[in-house]
Amino acid sequence: MNDLFWLDTGGSGPPLVLLHGGFLDHRMWAGQVPFFAGRYRVIVPDARGHGRSANATGPYRLADDLAALLRHLDTGPAVLAGVSMGAGVAVDTALEHPDLVRALIVSGAGTSEPDFADPWTIRALAAWQAAMAAGDLEGSIDGFMLFAAGPHRAEADLDPGVTARLRAMARATMAKHAAGEPVHLVPVRDTWERVPGIKVPVLAVHGALDSPDHLGMAARLAGTVPDGRSATVEGAAHYPNMERPGVYNEITGAFLSGL
pLDDT score at 25: 98
Whether 12 and 59 share a structural domain: yes
**87 and 218 Cβ atoms separated by less than 8 Å:** yes
CA distance 28 to 241: 8
pLDDT score at 108: 97
Q: Domain boundary at 154, 174, 194, which?
A: 174
Whether 148 and 205 share a structural domain: no
pLDDT score at 180: 85
Whether 52 and 64 share a structural domain: yes
Whether 111 and 220 share a structural domain: yes
The DSSP code sequence of 52-106 is TSPPPSS-B-HHHHHHHHHHHTT--SEEEEEETHHHHHHHHHHHH-GGGEEEEEE
CA distance 100 to 113: 21
Whether 132 and 74 share a structural domain: no
Question: What is the SS3 assignment for 23?
Answer: coil
pLDDT score at 76: 82
Whether 78 and 136 share a structural domain: no
Which range of residues forms the domain containing residue 209? 5-115+182-257
Whether 158 and 196 share a structural domain: no
Whether 16 and 132 share a structural domain: no
Whether 132 and 165 share a structural domain: yes
Whether 87 and 24 share a structural domain: yes
List per-residue pLDDT tens for the chain, 259 residues long.
Answer: 789 999 999 988 999 999 999 999 999 999 999 999 999 999 999 999 999 999 999 999 999 999 999 999 999 899 999 999 999 999 999 999 999 999 999 999 999 999 999 999 999 999 999 999 899 999 999 999 999 999 999 999 999 999 999 999 999 999 999 888 899 999 999 999 999 999 999 999 999 999 999 999 999 999 999 999 999 999 999 999 999 999 999 999 999 999 9
**235 and 243 Cβ atoms separated by less than 8 Å:** yes
Whether 139 and 203 share a structural domain: no
pLDDT score at 179: 83
